[in-house]
Chains A and B, each alone.
Chain A
Amino acid sequence: MSVFILRRLLQSALVMVAMAMIVFFGVHLVGDPVYMFVTPDMDQQDIENVTRALGLDRPIWEQFWLFIANALSGNLGQSFIFGEPALGLIIQRMPATLELAFAALLMAVVIGIPLGLYAGLYPDSLASRTIMAGSIVGFSLPTFWVGIMMIMVFAVMLGWLPSTGRGDTVDVFGIQLSFLTLDGLRHLALPALNLALLKISLVIRLTRAGTREAMLQDYIKFARAKGLSRSRIVGVHLLKNILIPVVTVLGLEFGSLIAFSVVTETIFAWPGMGKLLIESIQQLDRPIIVAYLMMIVFLFVVINLVVDILYSVLDPRVRLGDRGQ
């Protein structure tokens, strides 16, 4: 097990280094990175000083090592606009994004699994067909368009829910959280649902396919032959089997939730790191873009690692197979 984790950690580190290289040389390719640190009021002499101070006059490989060394010590440059460390700004905004993404994930599970189960258990019923048609529509609608429609219907026309911001937050260990206040929850509802929509469709499809396949298996019939109640068969025998692929896929999709939160945060003015990214792109605040990218890659790597471990916990076959190695 520990060998398995060690190998995965090593792989992850490699991916991080590869991505750092791509980001570094990508930025180099496009423009002189000295302008990432230059303010408009500098003259030529100042720029040269900055260049030397940053080591930008040295060979590119040396610079790359410097970049890596700085990155490892958490220094990804200073934001032009805020004049603060870029990584710090990203981390400051991260809780809002993570809260949104987790809320969406929760919605995907809480809404998607029961609907998918129902559609899988009663595939011919009218309700199931409606569910499946809904999931197909949910799949092809662009997120931003659905978000706009949600604002129009629930915020503008019905006036039920607010359309912008986080609302009241509670400070928990220095992190602001919305879901602990009623006002925060009301603010969270629309953006989270918007972000969750694609994943709900995905979970419905996965759960339905898994249910239909599992219900034909002998172990379900054997469980019935033991005289178990339907709720136990569905809730334990069936669910535990289909949860393995659903959890795996959902875990891997968590990264894409964070990526898509860029869209949702912009529409609902949710003050997370996705909104910060869009603002930085519009203001050409490159250090923040670089920091965001490195952070996202890091998150993806961590998520992949966690999913692999979680998978081995859920499926005894994988778990014991590794111990045996």
Chain B
Amino acid sequence: MASTETPAGGAAPVRPALDTPFRRFLSDFTDSRLAVLAAILLVTIIILAVFAPWLAPQNPYDLAVVSIFDARLPPGSQSMDGVTFWLGTDGAGRDLLSAIIYGLRISLSVGVASAIIALTVGMIVGLLAAYAGGRIEGLIMRIVDIQLSLPAVLIALILLAILGKGIDKIIIALVIAQWAYYARTVRASALVERRREYVEAAACLGLSHARIVFRHILPNCIAPLIVVGTVQTAHAIALEATLSFLGVGLPQTEPSLGLLISNGFEYMLSGKYWIAVFPGVALLITIVTINIVGDQLRDVLNPRLQK
């Protein structure tokens, strides 16, 4: 293994060694106080979502705990058992705070899962396009262009219309609606790398295609992928919420934030604002913090890309 790598490394231009890249990254990232605040919030949200069963005041889907007599209580009310509902209760008498924490769990899982799958699919297709070139590349990029010209919400909507509801179906729809963004990003940075001398040198040495792609080209696409991945995760979460709100996304058994908002919407006209508003605020904070972190990542990672 070492013997194949030495000549390839020797052909590459000598790169200045970064003094512990992670530390440099951390100090660049913390330049913006807003980004640090967003990152802290985001970590909190993720912890809440992951450990929801232990952190939420009640299990909102345990019928033994939830009482219909507590339905639609305003924020700060007490249940008949003397439990305080800080954010009030929803139409079924569930503690809204707990429902939101559980909803976060579903929204985040769907967003992250679809982003990871879309990233993988897009990455493979993008690498294929950049590496194969010629007609295959032309065809792939044509499909990517057409797809990017159609709004993601429309693509997902139509797919769900055909596929039906369900957590697996919405993940499929989100993946199909979003893979093209990753494919375009990967192809763009892979094309830059492919023309570098060391890749040509590696090819001359008779290294296998797979080896060249995964050991030499792919590592250079990672920074832009992280940036696009962050922003697209936020998009996926917003998209899932939108679709669930429209009633074509998740079934009632998987109450994501979008569904909570949708369920609360009917009570809003009668002045019971909190059932729709608080899940909305949670959704908003999640999306905005991811976007701020993504923006900062772009700023921090970009100049290094150009080096």
Contact = CB atoms under 8 A, between A and B. Distances in A.
Interface string B149-166: 111011001101111000
B280 A281 contact: no
A142 B162 contact: no
B265 interface: yes
Interface size class of A (residues with CB under 8 A): 35 or more
A149 interface: yes
B128 interface: no
A15 B288 CA distance: 36
A15 B146 contact: yes
A186 B220 CA distance: 54
Contacts of B17: none
B246 interface: yes
A300 B163 contact: no
A263 interface: yes
Contacts of B261: 144-145, 148
Interface stretch (B53-61, B83-91, B203-211, B237-245): B237-245
Contacts of A289: 158, 161-162
B268 A151 contact: yes
B233 to A, nearest CB: 13
Contacts of B218: none
Contacts of B146: 15, 18
Interface in A251-290: 252, 255-256, 259-260, 262-263, 266-267, 277-278, 280-282, 286, 289
B291 interface: yes
Interface string B232-272: 00100010011001111000000000000100010011010
Contact of B283 (A142, A143, A259): A142
A281 B160 contact: yes
A282 B238 CA distance: 21
A141 interface: yes
A278 B247 contact: yes
Given A252-B149, A278-B247, A282-B247, A259 B242 contact: no
Given A148-B276, A266-B246, A140 B288 contact: yes
Given A27-B162, A149-B280, 17 more contacts: A15-B146, A18-B146, A140-B291, A142-B242, A142-B283, A142-B284, A144-B245, A144-B261, A148-B265, A152-B268, A152-B277, A262-B153, A262-B246, A263-B153, A278-B248, A281-B248, A296-B154
